[in-house]
Every structure is written in structure tokens, then in C-alpha cells.
Structure 1
């Protein structure tokens, strides 16, 4: 296989920290975009008249497409050069941000978010690859990768607060437009300051495999999302879900016989890596699902402003970010099994306690259990990453890292899906108005609190107020049940791991 190494690569040694700074600036819009939209959801729901299902797709489409494209875009970077792919990715991300900011209907925002995911999937893997190629010294490389990870976590933590500030003073579309100045600044910096590095032009690029996994994931999730909708034929949801499953099955079959697989099947046969992927997937699903629920309750039910909602969520997301640097030292002292069982139990207990609290005001109890929940889930995430990377051979560390990122993105997308479905089903059952009024209302009025608020605003007057009160009561009841279910899932996972994780020797 032919390797091309440019003369520019000697610049790496002289300007490696400058190159890292440029890469970090390129990464910031992608990391913030993962969570900045959560606080803006109630506002854009009313502005665009988005249904509950459309809201789920607006949020989900980004991580789901990212999950399907991370591996092929990483391989494309190896083939044509990481700098080139990074520039393409930033350009696409900038165009998509502009289109998303001025979307006039839910479908346009969903398509713009899909385009954002395409750009993001090109940016994320190649920034890691550029760092790996830039820092020849192993210790410096470790520090650089740690900074990269810290910025990613901090960006996700800052997202809800930043989103609240922007929506409060401007409009929901501005949460996307803030990407543009950073992108316009960083593209020339990359063009001038980042070397071309190493590329492998003969490396195969498996576009068909990428299409299989991408289409499979989206069809499967669509089937799951619509299976409970009253106005959607059940058989269509089942057929689409089965077709998506078949696509995913074909993808994994092709990986087993492919001479250049996107996923090394030997890695997937390692129980430690599978466990690590599970420990990345479950907490991420719970984190984003909880943020999705919280953002709606704080604004729709408790009438908090977007910025207040963002600040309300800050202890949760910030404690999750702080968990990273502390996990290593805790892990070395009490061992992997003890750590995982402890923090999963704490996160489960936190959900049970939060389900008993009133979110109308920020009390000491809410602060305490929000911090405990965020910190414990953050520790699980980092421990999952540690399990994956420590189990993977050194020559497969890059692929293992991509599998870790996929677990995060799938957790983000499917967490919103399952929280949204459960929330919607309970909301439908708890939404109570008189039969006479219900006959006058559109069918979708009880699908979600967003749908109910749209109908209430259009109707206005006494009937509108009745709908709003019924929706608020239903959502608070649904919120309690969802938090108990989330706590139960984490408790069951902790109990299972007690029996399947091997005993560790005392130091």
C-alpha cells in the first residue's frame, strides 16, 4: 500500500501545540451542537408547530447519522488526507448551520440537522487522527488527546446554558448561527497552519457498508418511533423496522467476510469491549433522555425562561464533565467491578429520589441528587471508555476509539427515542379533558406536551387554558414514571453486572 508523506509534516514538531489549538477550535461547534438544542426545543416546537414525533426526529437525526458515518469518514480521511476531509466537513457544517438557523418548517430543520451530522462525522474522527500524527511523543500525545476529550465533555456541558442564553435574547435559530464565526475563523487557520500529513490513496473506501449501517439504523429507529402512534398503521412500522434490522444484519455479515472491514469483528468478540460499549451506550442514553425531559418540563410546565432552564441543568451536566479526571484515580483504588456497581447503584438511587421531588423550584435536595446523578453517570462513561481502550490491541486502538464514539452517538439518538416514546405513551394516558372538548380537538393534541401547547395557543381562551392545565398535569405524572423506569433499568444493569463481572484480586 502506497503511503504519501508530505514535506510539510516536519512542521508538526515545531508547531504541534498551535496545531492542537486550531483543531480544538474546529471541534468546539460539533461538541456544543450535541446539547445546545435541548433547551431550545420548547421554543422551536411552538415557532415551527412541530409535532412530538417531528421534535424527536429533529434531535435524533444528528446522532444517528453521525453513528453511521463516523467509521467511513475516518477511513476516507486515511485515504485522501485528514486535512482535506476536515476542511470539507467544516464547510458542510457551516452551510448546514446556516440552513438550520433559518428553517421555516420541521422537515427543513430535520434535513439541515442531517447535513450537520454529515459535516460533524467528517470533523470528529479526523481531528483525532491529526492529533495522533502531529504528536510523535507518546506522553505529549496523551496530554493532547486528554485536552481533546475534555473540550468535548465541556462543550456538551456548556451547550444547554449557552442555548438558554441565546434563545432568551435572540431566537431559536441563533443556536445554529453561532457556529458560523468559529468556522469562518478556523478554515483559513487549518488551510495555512495544519500540514497535509500522511494519506493512503490505495486504501479501499467501503461506501456500500456505510450505506447499509446508516439506512439500517434510521429505518429500525423509524419503525420503533412510529409503532405506538395511533394514526400510523402498525404493519407499516413493523415492516420498516424489520427491513432496517435486515440491513443491519447484512452489514455485519459483510464485515465478517470483507478483506477491509469497517469494524474488526475480533474486537466485537471481546467481552470487555462489548461491556465497555454497553457502559458508554446506557449512560449516554439516560443523560440525553433526562435532559430532553427536563428541558420540556422546566419551560412548558414550570414556565421557566430558556436561560433559567439551562442554568437549572448546569449542575447535572457539569458534574458529569468533572467526573472524567477523577475516574482514573478512583478506579485504581477500588477496582473496575466495585466502581461500576457503586456508581450504577448511585445513579439508580438518584433517579428514584428525583422522581419524588418537585422541579418547580431549585431546592438543596434537587441540587444534591442532580450532582450525584451527573457525576455517577459520568464515571460510568469514562469507565466504559477505559474498558474499551485497555482491551483493544495497540494496532487497533483507532478502530476501538471509533466503536466507542459510535456507542456514544447511538446512546444519544436512541436515548431520546426511548425516553420520548415512554413519555408520550404515559402522557396520552394521563391527559384528561372532558369528552365534549376532546371531540373538538385535533387527534394529535394528546401525543405530547408540545402538541398540546400548540393546539392550546391556537384555540386560546378558556378552552386553551383547560388544555394547558391538563397537559402540565399529565407531563408531571409522566415525568415521575419515566424517572422511576430509568432508575429501574440502571438498577437491573447493576444487579446483572454483580454476577457477570469477574471478581478482582485485592491489591
Structure 2
């Protein structure tokens, strides 16, 4: 047995340079999810979109990314991951120019949709190519950490870069910065990145593509609007429609000899457990940090800039941990890293619950740093397990499933936890004396804390003091209860994951402590 054990060859400088190129492309893809937020006022002034058009300008990119991830990841397995990445990079550059010079809201919506479709090629292609570049498990963990750092930094620097550009240039400049990076990728990728495709793969089943889109898009749409508008029949109908089409999609995949999604992947215990942990981690972090941002501004009264500055230390923890997560995986192994990270994450959520109930600024920020210490190694390690336990010819599909799971987790976390917190807030407001308000004001105050704060600003000084404090306390209580739910669920998840990983018999012998 010992004679058959060998250490995979280590990567050369070429592979590490290739990783840098892939990471920069991933940073741009991630940055486009958030870079538009600060540009909205300038876009409204220039293009005068309707409320519905503005909503689609903001949301269509994320919808298209989520909808096309599985298709593009599987397409890469079939025709070549590098080829799909280069096609996507070219389309991303063209769509960026189209967005930058849009003259109407309709043009900008179309450009953002095309950006989303092109962006869906980048995340699964870059991640699956990392599997090809790095054969050594320890080096692959480090590479995935660097990739994760780029993804995290994209979300952090997107608003910052957007703010700087908007200070001096037209709003279209936030899209033009994509073009030089895509040109760099097109120029160097053919020389630095290996091509990989499954030569035995059959033709792409177009009906499966349509069914996958009809599954993902309505569900994501329903959950996103549920978070914004609360439980409404329309949102439930969209989610139900998506689930129904999803059943048809699964039935078709079982019958096809070359399915779009290989359902056999879900029979691999390590793959399924890692996917479940990954989704749950994103679910709670998205929900908790949505509450955190609202808490800092609406409960504590900080301005957006003050809230951003106070949140900088926890954002720094996320960035640093993304870069250093591989050390934990290499030293302790993936299973212990995931289980330990879940426990740390649960401890951070418990601390957040206490801080939210006490309305403590320092407690909230300290808790978010603890969550960062636990969450980042968990998500990056499970991502590595998802692509590492899948057969090499299915790495692109596995990467796409991982990214789609994260999209679902984020949308679901915001919707479900947001709805729970809203329910608790409204129950708390039933006790408030709103007799001094007219019906419209009372409805706004009872619905959300944002409505209560906005109403209070329009009223004389002390008139709103009592019910506004009740509103803030109700929000804080809802925030705290959601964190308690997160704590309990993460602890239960750690127990379940431990049992599943124990049956998976993951080989950790290739991981050398560093």
C-alpha cells in the first residue's frame, strides 16, 4: 500500500500567475454585484427610470447569474472550461460597454441581463480551472482561499471604487473598469490556463437548460421580493412554480444518459454534506449581516458612512481570513476545520443575539468578527470539498452547483430571517400607542423600523419618543431571536455534518501541516 502513495506534483510559477488572473476575473464578477448601489441616484437623474425599471436594473444581474450558473458550469465540462471562460470574458467586456453607454432604462436592463449571463461563466469556470491547475491538495486549498479572498474583496471594494469613480466621472465609468480586466484575461489565459473538457460528454440538452432556468429564476425572484415586501400570495406562487418545474427538471435528469446535472453527485456523502453546510452558512451570514447594517443605522442612528467605518474591522477579518483559511484546512484537515468553524460561527451568532438584545455597538461588531473567524474557513473548505469530491470531468458542474447553492442560501436567508424578524417587530408594535398618528403613518410605523424612523423624522421632537423606542426594541428583539435560531441550527448542523463526514471516509493523508 505504501508504495502506491505519492504526493502530487507541486505547482510552478505559471500556475500561481494563472491563479492571479482567475482571481482578478472573479473579483470583477463579485464587484459587479455591489458596484451599482452608489450609482443609483446618478442613474435616476440621467435616465429617469420608473420604480419597476429601477428594481430590475438592480436585480437582473443577480437573477441571470443565479439562473445560468448550472448551465455554464456544465457547458464548460462539455466544450472546455477555458473556452467558456474566454467566451464569457469577451461577452462581459462587450456588455459592460453597452451598459456604460446606455441611453434608456430598457437598454441598461438588457445590458445588466447580458452581464449576468456572461458573469455566470466566470465563477464556475475559475473555480473548476483551479482544480486543474493545482494537483497538490494543500496547494489547492491555498488557491481556493486566494480565490475566495478575491470574491470577498469584490463585494468590499465594489462600493468604494464605485464611490471614487462617481465622484469624478459619469455613472457609466463603474462598468468601463471591467473592460481592461477582461482584455487582460483574454490576452494571457490561452498561455497560462490549461484546457479541460470531458471528451465522453454528450450533447447539451436544451430542454434541461430551459427547465433549470424556469426552476431557479422564479424561486430566487420570489425569495428576494419576499424579503422586500413580506409574505404575499404572488411570492408564494413564484416559489411554488419554481419548485414544480424543479421536480420536472429532476425527473428529466434521471432519464438522460448525459444529464445537465449529474444527480449521482448527491449520492456522495462528502459532496452533499458540504453543500448543505455551505448553503446554511451563507443563509445565516446574509441574514445576520442584513440585520447588522439596519441595526447600526436605524437603531443606533449612525449615518451610512459611519456604519461603513464601524464595520470596517469585521470586513477586514473576513478578507484576512479568506486569505489565511487554507492554513486551518492544511493543519487540521477539512473535516475538523468545517466542524470547528461551525462551532465558532454558532458562538458568534450567540454573542450577536446578546449584543442585539442589549443594543450594544461594540458587542455587535465584536460578534461579527467572531462570525468571520468561523464562517470563512467553513465556506471555503466546503467549496473545496464540493469540487474535490466530484469526478474531475464534473468539476465545472460541481462548481456551478456550489455557486447556485450560495445564491439560494443568501436569498433564502434574507427572506426567511427577514420575515421572522418582521413578524416579531409587528407583534411588538401591537403594544405601542399610535393614537397620535393618522392611519397612513400608523401603518408605516407598524410595518417596519425604517418606516417608523422616517415617520419620526417628519414629526415634532418629542411626539414620537415612546413608540419609536418600542419600534427599536422590537427590531432588536427580532434580530436577537434570529441569531438564537442561527445558533441552534448551526450546532445541530455540526452534529449532522460530523456523522455524515464520518461515513464519507475523506482521505486527509495528502494534507501536510504547514
TM-score band, normalised by shorter chain: 0.7 to 0.9
- The equivalent of 1:89 in structure 2 is 92
Q: CA RMSD in A?
A: 4.8
> Residue 468 of structure 1: CA displacement?
5.6
How far, CA to CA, are the matches of 2:153 and 2:360 in structure 1? Answer: 21
> Residue 30 of structure 1: CA displacement?
1.4
Distance 1:482 1:279, change over 3 A: same
Superposed, which structure 2 residues align to 1:428-443 within 5 Å? 428-431=426-429, 432-437=432-437, 439-441=439-441, 443=443
Contact 2:311–2:365, Cα closer than 8 Å, also in 1: no
Ranges in structure 1 where 5+ consecutive residues have no aligned partner: 1-12
- The equivalent of 1:118 in structure 2 is 117
- Number of aligned residue pairs: give it: 480
How far, CA to CA, are the matches of 1:262 and 1:150 in structure 2? Answer: 29
How far, CA to CA, are the matches of 1:89 and 1:451 in structure 2? Answer: 38
Distance 1:422 1:325, change over 3 A: same
Contact 2:277–2:493, Cα closer than 8 Å, also in 1: no
1:215-262 deviation digits (Å, cap 9, x = unpaired): 22333355556779999764x554443322111111111111123322
> Residue 307 of structure 1: CA displacement?
3.4
- What secondary structure is seen at the aligned counterpart in 2 of 1:260? coil
How far, CA to CA, are the matches of 1:335 and 1:152 in structure 2? Answer: 18
State which of 367, 385, 388 in structure 1 corresponds to 2:386: 388
- What secondary structure is seen at the aligned counterpart in 1 of 2:354? coil
Contact 1:96–1:115, Cα closer than 8 Å, also in 2: no
1:180 counterpart = 2:175: yes
Distance 1:43 1:384, change over 3 A: farther
1:189 counterpart = 2:178: no
1:112-143 deviation digits (Å, cap 9, x = unpaired): 7655432321333344566778x6x856x996
- The equivalent of 1:9 in structure 2 is none
Contact 2:452–2:471, Cα closer than 8 Å, also in 1: yes
Contact 1:168–1:305, Cα closer than 8 Å, also in 2: no
Ranges in structure 2 where 5+ consecutive residues have no aligned partner: 1-11, 510-514
Contact 2:216–2:242, Cα closer than 8 Å, also in 1: yes
- The equivalent of 2:395 in structure 1 is 397
Contact 2:124–2:396, Cα closer than 8 Å, also in 1: no
TM-score norm. by structure 2 comes to 0.74
> Residue 281 of structure 1: CA displacement?
0.8
- The equivalent of 2:3 in structure 1 is none
- The equivalent of 1:296 in structure 2 is 294
Superposed, which structure 2 residues align to 1:144-163 within 5 Å? 146-147=142-143, 149-157=145-153, 159-160=155-156, 163=159
- What secondary structure is seen at the aligned counterpart in 1 of 2:502? coil
> Residue 68 of structure 1: CA displacement?
2.5
Contact 1:345–1:491, Cα closer than 8 Å, also in 2: yes
Contact 2:123–2:400, Cα closer than 8 Å, also in 1: no
How far, CA to CA, are the matches of 2:115 and 2:446 in structure 1? Answer: 31
- What secondary structure is seen at the aligned counterpart in 1 of 2:121? helix
TM-score norm. by structure 1 comes to 0.75
- The equivalent of 1:3 in structure 2 is none
How far, CA to CA, are the matches of 1:216 and 1:115 in structure 2? Answer: 19
How far, CA to CA, are the matches of 1:225 and 1:281 in structure 2? Answer: 16
Superposed, which structure 2 residues align to 1:418-497 within 5 Å? 418-431=416-429, 432-437=432-437, 439-441=439-441, 443-454=443-454, 459-461=458-460, 471-497=471-497
